[in-house]
Amino acid sequence: MLKKLGAALGAALIVGAATMAQAATISGAGATFPAPVYAKWAETYKAQTGNSLNYQAIGSGGGIKQITAGTVDFGATDKPLKPDDLAAGGLAMFPTVVGGVVPVMNLPGLRPGQVKLTGAQLADIYRGVIKKWNDPLLVKTNAGVALPNLPITVVHRSDGSGTTFLFTTYLSMKAAHWASEVGANDSVAWPTGLGGKGNDGVAAFVKQTPGAIGYVEYAYAKQNNLTYALMQNKGGKFVSPTAENFAAAAAGAKWSAAPGFYLLLLDQPGANAWPITGATFILVHTKQDKPTDGREVLAFFDWAYKNGDAAAVSLDYVPLPAAVKDLIRKSWSKVVGPDGKPVYR
């Protein structure tokens, strides 16, 4: 009996050790925009597979730098890289989910969605031209709303940020002064304001500063119970930041015609389209020195495409259509090992 018990325990230990040996950890770094959904996916993925994701939400600029340097298995960015830049860096790129960038404010006594803003007004606030909440331009747009006599404190990102890229690209589309004086990038010379690191840093600054305005991915506005503005969209309608309206902005996205999946979803037509909508992207090296690492990265996102939609929706992100996911899976054939064969099939 003791021999049988010992043999059984030994077998169990061997199986346990084998299971532990098979568990993998992949590393990623970059965008804070999708960090809430990546964290949720990673939690469920580990529970189901035993494999772990170590993701550092350091901003899109940091993610691009780390994958370029090869210090992580994948980079994450909300600023898509153009095909020439992907080719120069030996990188492949694919989208994961769609979300919305939302102006958030600290205005005591006002509820989310009470304040309306146009793109041009938002640009003038961030240029430091509109300095108070009861400015006549804002009062005219917000008839019947008791805008406070408070100075506006502008809050922006201090780190290289794809959220900033989407936000400043949108402002450049809506305001010629912004386009010529500041421009669009993941990091710009801000005319005024305070800098916060990451979406969470901007949210924290806004939350503690009466009169502040910032911009964050919607999940951060929701998690922090922040007051958000309605934005005027391309059709002239003031719309709310909701998953349905982010989806409306992405409805006409032609991913199959986008080289390297480079596509912007800003100021899209559609009655309810949210004007500052964007996809977030993953970057991996096309040539993998360690094929197992590349395989595990693609396996994680393949799992997320199959099993992660409910988690994405619960956090107000928009999952990609099934046809787009299939298109992405086909694109993974360009991610190869030293033998030239795809690392994930």
Is the residue at 116 inside a domain? yes
Is the residue at 176 inside a domain? yes
Task: Say how far apart CA 73 and CA 79 lie, in whole Å.
Answer: 18
Is the residue at 145 inside a domain? yes
Phi, psi of 93 (to 5 degrees): -135, 145
Structural domain tally of the chain? 1
pLDDT (tens digit, 9 = 90+) per residue, 54-102?
A: 999 999 999 999 999 999 999 999 999 999 999 999 999 999 999 999 9
Task: Determine the pLDDT at residue 238.
Answer: 98
Structural domain range at position 195 = 101-245+267-273
Sign of CA dihedral 307, 28, 216, 239: negative
Task: Say how far apart CA 89 and CA 179 lie, in whole Å.
Answer: 28
105-131 average pLDDT score: 97
Token pair for 303: 């799992």
7 pLDDT higher than 80: no
210-214 average pLDDT score: 98
210 pLDDT higher than 90: yes
Token pair for 157: 């990102």
Is the residue at 129 inside a domain? yes
Residue 119 carries which DSSP code?
Answer: H
Task: Determine the pLDDT at residue 345.
Answer: 84
Is the residue at 26 inside a domain? no
204-226 average pLDDT score: 96
Is the residue at 19 inside a domain? no
Task: Determine the pLDDT at residue 15.
Answer: 38
Phi, psi of 237 (to 5 degrees): -90, 140
Is the residue at 46 inside a domain? no
Nearest to 30 by CA among 71, 82, 2, 87: 71
Is the residue at 307 inside a domain? no
Task: Say how far apart CA 131 and CA 129 lie, in whole Å.
Answer: 6
pLDDT (tens digit, 9 = 90+) per residue, 298-339?
A: 999 999 999 999 999 999 999 999 999 999 999 999 999 999
pLDDT (tens digit, 9 = 90+) per residue, 235-245?
A: 999 999 999 99
pLDDT (tens digit, 9 = 90+) per residue, 135-192?
A: 999 999 999 999 999 999 999 999 999 999 999 999 999 999 999 999 999 999 999 9
Q: Residue 231's domain is classified under what CATH number?
A: 3.40.190.10
Phi, psi of 318 (to 5 degrees): -110, 115
Report percent pLDDT > 90 for the chain.
93
201 pLDDT higher than 80: yes
Task: Say how far apart CA 282 and CA 72 lie, in whole Å.
Answer: 12
The neighbour count for residue 11, using CB atoms within 10 Å, is 10
User: % helix / strand / coil in the chain, to the nearest 5?
Assistant: 45, 20, 35
Q: What is the mean pLDDT of the chain?
A: 94
